[in-house]
Amino acid sequence: MDELENKIQQIAQLIIDSENVIALTGAGMSTESGIADFRSPGTGLWEKVNPDEFASIHSYVSDTGKNLKFMLEMGMSIFKSKPNKGHKSLTKLQKLGKLRGVLTQNIDGLHKRAKTENVIELHGTAHEAICMRCHTVYPITKLIDQVLKSDRSPSCEACQGLLKPNAIFFGEPLHSDTLIEAEKMLSCCDLLLVLGSSLLVYPVAFYPREALSNGAKLVIINIQETDMDDHAEVVLHERIGDVMPKIVDIVIEELR
């Protein structure tokens, strides 16, 4: 058995031996669905745009038109995308009773579209718009239709407040009820699978340490190194879609 096969086998065994497996997923989960992440060298969005100028709540309010142009581009790649082998592998694991739920930084909705259940979207969703004044939530089409038809900022039907995508922008707090749900899920997990996250964005950056201090084990699958690699039971610097189906096949075989 070569080193990669050995590691794949080890991860499958950790999943089999654990009672409460949670996946923590980042933008790297969806690059194989054609959605660029932020930090991959060469393809990450931050090589093209400045995060302070786009995707921060301050810049959205002060230059809504310019920000919406960027967001529509990112949105279109999300709306065209489909769940990939990685998302589908997690759904399979869950059907086998070997995945309790998913904590995700992603706003693309692909875990839910892959029919994984118990998914907590920490950073909200690109599929909805929200009024910044009265907090009414609309399908994202409400915002897109207005942007495509006129130069004016998209506004709420109920109160004329400014509409924004219902995703958390830089400079905005996460919803406290979502954070509480995430903490609950994390506190009972005995194995945390970190998939495609640079672990640089809080609060997710802190979750692996929290899981470890609760006695959970850690597995990291990410093309690039992360600061938590040294703390993980197994680390794979591979594409999620190349290894997750193999891991799930072994779990299926062993549980048979």
Q: Which is nearer to ligand NAD, 147 or 240 (CB)?
A: 240
Residues present in the chain in total:
256
Instruction: Write out the binding residues for Zn ion, residues 102-141 only, by CB under 5 A.
Output: 131, 133-134, 136
28 binds, among ligand NAD, Zn ion, none (CB under 5 to 8 A by kind): ligand NAD
- Rule CB under 6 A: which of 149-208 touch ligand NAD? 196-198, 200-201
Site for Zn ion in 209-248 (CB under 5 A): none
The helix/strand/coil state of 246 is helix
Alpha helices of the chain — where are they, by DSSP H?
3-17, 57-62, 64-80, 85-95, 110-113, 141-149, 176-187, 207-213, 240-255
Q: Does 127 qualify as catalytic in the annotation?
A: no
Nearest approach, Cβ of residue 206 and ligand NAD (Å): 13
Q: Is position 161 an interface residue for Zn ion (rule: CB under 5 A)?
A: yes
DSSP states of 18-70 as a string? Answer: -SSEEEEE-GGGTGGGT---SSSTTT-GGGTS-TTTSSBHHHHHHSHHHHHHH
114 to 133, contacts with ligand NAD by CB under 6 A?
123
Q: Which stretch binds Zn ion (CB under 5 A): 18-26, 77-85, 141-149, 159-167?
A: 159-167
CB within 8 Å of 39: residues ≥ 6 apart: 27, 46, 198, 200, 224
Q: Which is nearer to Zn ion, 156 or 240 (CB)?
A: 156
Binding site for ligand NAD (CB under 6 A): 26-28, 30-32, 35, 37-40, 44, 105-108, 123, 196-198, 200-201, 221-224, 239-240
